[in-house]
Amino acid sequence: MATARVPLEDDVLAQVITIASNGVLSPATCFIANAQQVTFVNNSGGSIPITFEPDAFGVTVFNNVSVGGNGGTNTQSPQVNNRTVNYNTDGSTTYPYAIQVGAGALFIKVTYNQTSGNGDCTPDPAVIPLGGTIEFIGDANYSVRWNAANGDPFTPPLTNIYTASNPLTVPHTASRPSGNYGYTITKLAITDGTGHGGGTIKIGG
């Protein structure tokens, strides 16, 4: 359910995100306060579309925009409080950018796929800032195994995924260095040897 937007003090400036001449955005991940605006400044030679990934539960955090080239700007306000959103500049599903609004998590929905036998994670890959938060919500209980090279990047440790009604379903904070963290999930209480899935969490600096 959408959270009512709270007015900011007049002296709170918009977070500036710059689009370089090569189309790369900086900073790639950032935090803003609830209701704080974001201004995209496009220093490339052409118009750049900004496409925001819909929340895993259908919540719109920012509207898609197009930013004109050669110094063009576009300023957006978050539509909800306390939510993290992934976004991109080319409409692909490999989202390298994220904005955390307030204290809100990026929600990952885990759904058991009867055809493949996997636990499908949406979104995947998922992006959050270093120090940002993430929350998995499953349609069943799953265990989580992290790739040995990087380990579990979260505090508290993320070792299990539960349903929304379970009191153990809580936000987890990205407390490890920036990087890509692969994980595998396994559905608990299964007898057929299936129920595997997983994905990647990208933690930005």
d(CA 165, CA 171): 14
Task: Kindly give the confidence (pLDDT) of every residue in the chain, 205 residues in length, as a single tens digit, with 9 standing for 90 and above.
Answer: 444 444 444 457 999 999 999 999 999 999 999 999 999 999 999 999 999 998 888 899 999 999 999 999 999 999 999 999 999 998 777 788 999 999 999 999 999 888 877 888 999 999 999 999 999 999 999 999 998 778 899 999 999 999 999 999 999 999 988 999 999 998 876 544 555 788 999 998 7
- At residue 5, the pLDDT reads 45
Domain extent, residue 189, equals 106-204
- At residue 15, the pLDDT reads 98
Strand, helix or coil for residue 89: coil
d(CA 39, CA 17): 6
- At residue 59, the pLDDT reads 92
- Domain boundary pick from 58, 76, 101: 101
- At residue 8, the pLDDT reads 47
Are 97 and 110 within one domain? Answer: no
pTM tops 0.75: yes
The total number of structural domains that make up the chain: 2
Any idea what DSSP says for residue 44? S
Are 200 and 113 within one domain? Answer: yes
- At residue 56, the pLDDT reads 87
- At residue 2, the pLDDT reads 43
- Domain boundary pick from 67, 101, 135: 101
Are 110 and 187 within one domain? Answer: yes
For residue 143, give the nearest of 75, 196, 66, 95 by alpha carbon.
Answer: 196
- Domain boundary pick from 71, 101, 131: 101
- Does residue 153 form part of some domain? yes
d(CA 168, CA 185): 17
Instruction: Output Rg (C-alpha) for the chain, integer angstroms.
Output: 18
- At residue 112, the pLDDT reads 86
Are 41 and 123 within one domain? Answer: no
- Does residue 53 form part of some domain? yes
CATH number of 57's domain: 2.60.40.420
Are 124 and 196 within one domain? Answer: yes
